[in-house]
């Protein structure tokens, strides 16, 4: 039989299979259903960790294993998935490949899937830390495992009820960018004067105040089976990470410790699938590490465990008082926007080549060589980049997915202007497009604004991203 006829005969069968998958989603019983799952994504020894700029070397051991955690919600009309991964960050194409697998195997539309990274710095940065074919093997397996987390969560769908709330975690957070007096900040790596930011460990008599507010709110989505058995908890905290690692050892940071402590408290012997706890990163691009609450000197990983435990206990205190609901709408929208990239001009490239070709010359900044390398790499980027913005509605709760390391001002503005009673944002969602300073923060300077693979979108990118997110929330609300 000619191959063209075979293809024509097979086409209706393929369409029927695909239609069957989609119909199964659309024909879900009325009332909320939910499912959750966890898949281990711990890399083997030798896989590259973290870095472009702050390279962390290969994996030498595992302190605590890392996971892909998925939550699927279905209101009988719409099914959505949220997948939180214990990774430093993941480039968009890798998330897209995982979503394509989910769609192929289940029919869940790609635009109904939000995937994000927690930003632990003791895990791979995919693929920016790539150093060998071993990394590629891990990345291929990672894509399959992230997809499997969502697929398994869908298989676990069961009648459910949800509630949301929050607690104040402000004592754990502080802006890591410090506003300094004019003329007190030294030249940046490019030899340009006039900046007013001292970052991270900035200490100076010329410091005026933190350069931005924090977002103190830890948001919580609680999901239970209809009999009240805990099904999943999705937390959201706007603190960069905790740290306190040993070099080369894998850790999910405080995000994993939070999930572990919740599971220890809430996992029960029952006919239901195991409880799943997860913590997403909010808008913490300009926030430091989890602040210690005493003057003790903690051993490696000790404060990670303790802070995760404290956040879990406060979460449980909130959930005990929340009324859970079964009948509420679930909806999701996404929009792709195209943004400019701050590629170096000829003058900047000439500066970079001079630095790299004359490594022994005196430099104006200890990081000049790093940013010279970054200028060369950034010159290879296209003129623009397309990114995805997403918004989810669960009753009167709004959730936003943003593909950058987002500053707190953006998260606070979205919360303030959202049409929903409660709203939170997940950063590094569906990609990793670098730091997202506001135009005002760009004007102040600091390494989060310096053009590099870690910060490359146009200066007005934050305005466009924030407005797109708010527009999506409004459309969901209307």
- For 29-47, the pLDDT digits (tens) are 569 999 999 999 999 999 9
DSSP secondary structure string for all residues of 376-437: HHHTTS-SEEEEEEEEEEETTEEEEE-SSEE-HHHHHHHHHH-SSSEEEEESSBSS---EE-
pLDDT score for 25: 44
Nearest to 412 by CA among 350, 466, 351: 466
CB 371 within 8 A of CB 447: no
CB 256 within 8 A of CB 237: no
Percent of the chain with pLDDT over 90: 87
pLDDT score for 66: 98
Q: Coil, strand, or helix at residue 330? A: strand
Q: How far is CA 379 from CA 131, 359, 437, 453, in A?
A: 21, 20, 21, 10
Q: What's the mean pLDDT when you consider all of the chain? A: 92
Q: Give the start-end residues of each E strand in 226-307.
A: 230-237, 249-250, 276-281
- For 93-103, the pLDDT digits (tens) are 999 999 999 99
Place 292 in a pLDDT band, splitting at 50, 70 and 90. very high
pLDDT score for 30: 67
pLDDT score for 310: 98
Percent of the chain with pLDDT over 70: 92
> Is the predicted pLDDT of residue 440 greater than 80, yes or no?
yes
d(CA 426, CA 424): 7
Place 268 in a pLDDT band, splitting at 50, 70 and 90. confident
pLDDT score for 55: 53
pLDDT score for 202: 56
> Is the predicted pLDDT of residue 326 greater than 50, yes or no?
yes
177-196: string of b/e by CB count within 10 Å (b at 16+)? Answer: bbbbeeeebeebbbeeeebb
- For 108-123, the pLDDT digits (tens) are 999 999 999 999 999 9
pLDDT score for 24: 44
d(CA 275, CA 71): 11
pTM score: 0.92
E strand or H helix at 265: helix 253-266
- For 175-209, the pLDDT digits (tens) are 999 999 999 999 999 999 999 998 865 566 789 99
pLDDT score for 199: 80
pLDDT score for 27: 41
Q: How far is CA 200 from CA 178, 237, 288, 347, 439, in A?
A: 8, 19, 7, 29, 20
**Alpha-carbon torsion, ordered 385, 455, 118, 168, to 10 deg:** -120
């Amino acid at each position: 039989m000619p191959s063209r006829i075979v293809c024509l005969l097979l086409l209706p069968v393929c369409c029927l299979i695909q239609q069957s998958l989609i119909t199964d989603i659309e024909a879900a019983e009325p009332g909320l259903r939910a499912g959750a799952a966890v898949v281990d994504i711990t890399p083997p020894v030798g896989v590259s960790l973290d870095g472009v700029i702050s390279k962390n070397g290969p994996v030498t051991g595992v302190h605590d294993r890392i996971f892909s955690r998925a939550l699927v919600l279905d209101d009988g009309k719409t099914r959505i998935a949220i997948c939180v991964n214990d990774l430093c960050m993941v480039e968009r194409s890798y998330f897209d490949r995982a979503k394509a697998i989910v769609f192929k195997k289940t029919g869940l539309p790609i635009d109904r899937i939000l995937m994000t990274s927690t930003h632990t710095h003791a895990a791979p940065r995919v693929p920016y830390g790539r150093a060998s074919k071993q990394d590629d093997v891990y990345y291929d397996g990672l894509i399959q495992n992230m997809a499997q987390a969502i697929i398994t969560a869908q298989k676990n769908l069961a009648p459910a009820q949800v509630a949301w709330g929050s607690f104040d975690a402000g004592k754990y957070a502080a802006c890591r960018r410090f506003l300094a007096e004019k003329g007190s900040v030294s030249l940046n790596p490019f030899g340009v004067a006039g900046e007013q930011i001292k970052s991270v460990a900035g200490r100076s008599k010329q410091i005026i105040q933190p350069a931005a507010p924090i977002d103190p709110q830890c948001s919580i989505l609680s999901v239970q089976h209809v009999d009240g058995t805990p099904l999943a908890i999705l937390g959201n905290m706007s603190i960069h990470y905790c740290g306190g690692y040993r070099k080369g050892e894998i850790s999910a940071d405080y995000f994993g410790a939070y999930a572990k402590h919740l599971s220890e408290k809430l996992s029960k012997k029952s006919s239901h699938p195991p409880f799943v706890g997860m913590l997403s990163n909010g808008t913490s691009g300009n926030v430091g590490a989890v602040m210690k609450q005493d003057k003790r000197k903690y051993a490696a990983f000790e404060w990670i465990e303790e802070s995760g435990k404290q956040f879990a206990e406060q979460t449980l205190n909130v959930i005990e008082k929340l009324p859970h609901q079964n009948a509420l709408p679930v909806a999701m929208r996404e929009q792709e926007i195209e943004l400019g990239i701050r590629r170096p001009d000829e003058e900047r490239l000439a500066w970079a080549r001079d630095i790299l070709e004359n490594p022994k010359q005196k430099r104006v900044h200890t990081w000049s060589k790093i940013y010279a390398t970054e200028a060369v790499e950034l010159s290879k980027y296209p003129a623009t980049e397309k990114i995805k913005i997403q918004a989810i509605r669960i009753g009167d709760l709004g959730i936003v997915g943003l593909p950058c390391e987002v500053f707190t001002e953006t998260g606070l503005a979205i919360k303030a202007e959202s049409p929903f009673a409660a709203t939170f944002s997940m950063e590094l969602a569906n990609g990793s497009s670098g730091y997202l300073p506001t135009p005002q923060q760009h004007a102040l300077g600091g390494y989060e604004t310096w053009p590099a693979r870690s910060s490359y979108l146009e200066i007005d990118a934050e305005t466009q991203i924030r407005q797109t997110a708010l527009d999506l929330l409004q459309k969901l609300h209307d």
